[in-house]
Chain A
């Protein structure tokens, strides 16, 4: 009851093409995450789906029904904004109930649905407050509550957690994951945060400059990126890219190897190099080294390691996990 199909969606502002033909198929109940660099058109795409912006061409279907001529309120969607966007003059309860009031639901129905949502999000003590009397985390929960109350087919989230501090972000992320399990609704979620993307998504859509680079499950994107952009965008720290020439390999232009797939040793290994910087993160140690053959390499080691700048080390890549890309940046399988 909440599928979404996008067909060659294009959007231009003046002569600037922001979306350049987006095709996407979202199945009922899926949790889909849009990631991509700033300005690549994620929010614009979300607004097109919501009907807040008209696409220049292409079609949006919700539940198999073409919605290009349907206003946002009638599309069966709900949206949560980065800036919360709560109505400042209404109490929490009225904020959550406004959408239902507009479609003429009875007070009993509204009260019951608001009560259900506020119980889900532990908002009961705050129902009579106004947004200005609440903390950022509480406001974002109200915004999520306002979406739930409408019982939409499709939830749209535009970077909902980016104004929250780290601890609150983890907590709210868990709440959203729980919500998705319980409501079994389709959710589309925009984020900058890799961890959010990897942990929440059934399916990640990587966007770049108004185009879809790759669609797949988090592990597919991590293990089998189809091009250099996705390989570099997914995974942190970023994948090492080494020109194939330097390694004397033929049939590829660039070789990619993730920092966690390189082993370090003081005695022997494939690439000799000098440590230039070390970051100790407790669970991980990130070592940056200048290797003779490959140039700058990032290596991620699990646990604590006593490497220090200027140490001479030897790095050995796990050849099975290497990625190979051709001159156009496409992955070679």
Chain B
């Protein structure tokens, strides 16, 4: 199946590269999931083997579900992640629209200021954040986490979305203004649907660090009622003894929701509806 654009050797090399990357990327996930279904002895004896009838064991999952309130942890993680993504997308898109659409004094400076957070990690401000949360009584609430993650996600979101919004046709927005749409309608009804692929990208980039974060849950919300999954899984890791079955089972379970969210967003990534808007 060779034609003008694809030499067979080149195609083979490209596939080889892609396949090896896929293997490397999937291997830790594979190891985690496979070992979560094995007995403790089997994990240490043959970590690479798939579970056989002799080594198969659900002990890890049983421990996870019995000890602690794992369902509650999941719920916390989901609530925090989804609320943060929603706020990041909403405020990020609004700021990006203002920066890309309106000419006002200090526009460029404002853009730089808002993008500064990409370069400066929010964790540098942990102490101040903690003091603030204590002062406002938000320690050990999910609100504290949502606020911090929204702040953490906004810079990149604004940066990516404002670049995309610059590409939305001026004529289209002007046509909306002439037809009497308010600036809010233009934003929500004309511009947002057209930058949907960019929104999905931002959602994915925002979601993964939040879901996986251990730092802020540990510092701001370590209470039993507000624990997230990543923090919850820590209780199986002890200084002297680690319950590997439970850790692996908890991690396997933690992969699921984030996978589902990813699938939802990545479908949006592919489906652009710009075609036919202009030209």
A→B interface (CB under 8 Å): 47, 50, 52, 71-74, 77-79, 81-89, 98-99, 102-103, 130-134, 136, 139, 146, 150, 163
Interface size class of B (residues with CB under 8 A): 20 to 34
Chain A contacts of B190 at CB under 8 A? 87
A71 to B177, CA, bound (A): 8
From A71, A81, A98, A131, contact of B171 by CB (8 A): A81
Known: A72-B178, A99-B178. A85 touches B276 (CB 8 A): no
Task: Confirm or deny: B223 has a beta carbon within 8 angstroms of a beta carbon on chain A.
Answer: no
Known: A47-B174, A81-B175, A85-B175. A102 touches B181 (CB 8 A): yes
- The answer to whether B175 touches A131 (Cβ under 8 A) is no
Using A87-B172, A146-B179 as known contacts, list a sample of 5 further A-B pairs with CB atoms less than 8 Å apart, ordered by residue number in A: A79-B178, A86-B276, A102-B179, A139-B276, A163-B279
B→A interface (CB under 8 Å): 169, 171-172, 174-181, 189-190, 193-194, 273-279
- Report A318 CB to chain B, min CB distance, Å: 45
Residue of A nearest to B276 (CB): A132
- The answer to whether B172 touches A85 (Cβ under 8 A) is yes
- The answer to whether A73 touches B172 (Cβ under 8 A) is no
- The answer to whether A88 touches B276 (Cβ under 8 A) is yes
Chain A contacts of B171 at CB under 8 A? 81-85
Chain B contacts of A81 at CB under 8 A? 171, 174-175
- The answer to whether B273 touches A88 (Cβ under 8 A) is yes
- The answer to whether A84 touches B279 (Cβ under 8 A) is yes
A17 to B176, CA, bound (A): 27
A82 to B179, CA, bound (A): 17
Chain B contacts of A88 at CB under 8 A? 193-194, 273-277
- The answer to whether A130 touches B276 (Cβ under 8 A) is yes
Residue of A nearest to B190 (CB): A87
7 cross-chain pairs, A with B, having the tightest CB-CB distances, nearest first: A132-B276, A73-B180, A102-B180, A85-B171, A99-B179, A88-B277, A81-B171
A201 to B279, CA, bound (A): 26
Residue of A nearest to B169 (CB): A83
Known: A85-B169, A136-B279. A78 touches B178 (CB 8 A): yes
Most chain A CB inside 10 Å of its own CB: which residue of B172, B193, B277: B277
- The answer to whether B169 touches A73 (Cβ under 8 A) is no
Residue of B nearest to A75 (CB): B178
- The answer to whether B278 touches A73 (Cβ under 8 A) is no
A87 to B276, CA, bound (A): 9
From B169, B180, B277, contact of A99 by CB (8 A): B180
A290 to B274, CA, bound (A): 53
A82 to B169, CA, bound (A): 11
Chain B contacts of A84 at CB under 8 A? 171, 278-279
- The answer to whether A73 touches B177 (Cβ under 8 A) is yes
17 A–B contacts from the bound complex (CB under 8 Å): A47-B174, A50-B178, A73-B179, A74-B180, A81-B174, A83-B171, A84-B171, A84-B279, A85-B174, A88-B273, A88-B274, A98-B179, A99-B179, A102-B181, A130-B276, A131-B277, A146-B175
Residue of A nearest to B194 (CB): A88
A136 to B275, CA, bound (A): 12
- The answer to whether B278 touches A89 (Cβ under 8 A) is no
